[in-house]
Amino acid sequence: MPKKRRNGGRSRHGRGKTCLVNCGKCQCNPPKDKAVARFKTKNLVDQGVMNDMKAASVYGNDYELPKIYEKSYHCISCAVHSRIVRVRNREARRIRAPPRRFRRPAERRDGPGARPGADKKPTTA
């Protein structure tokens, strides 16, 4: 019988069992090595309230509001349904490299966390 995936849809190489986690959508219990894990970072307040707080603050721009960090797990069916992961054809399933990450254009990287001189190309001598 042919195999569909090299790892069988799991990443538990050498382990007999892995613990179960709760799916963030349907509350089923997929194994931790089979579930799709995503790390979500959100601001504590929305952008409009954040601007009002910075305007009324005596600290100015020196104080950063805390963020909410949440790691969520999804079963495969919920991850496909909510488009967290996509279905790939047979040739694309063989590609094990992670997809390219989205990068902002260079002219928009001048926000509060921008590195000075990051958008300049190095000169060769």
Question: What is the tens place of the pLDDT at every residue in 53-66?
Answer: 888 888 877 888 89
Res 96: pLDDT? 84
Helix (H, G, I), strand (E, B) or coil at 47: helix
Question: Global pTM?
Answer: 0.66
For residue range 68-108, what is the model confidence (pLDDT) as tens digits? 999 999 999 999 999 999 999 989 888 888 888 888 777 66
Judge whether 107 and 77 are in contact, CB under 8 Å.
Answer: no
Percent of all residues in the chain with a pLDDT value above 90, rounded to a whole number: 43
Range 37-49 average pLDDT: 92
Tokens 């790691």, residue located: 71
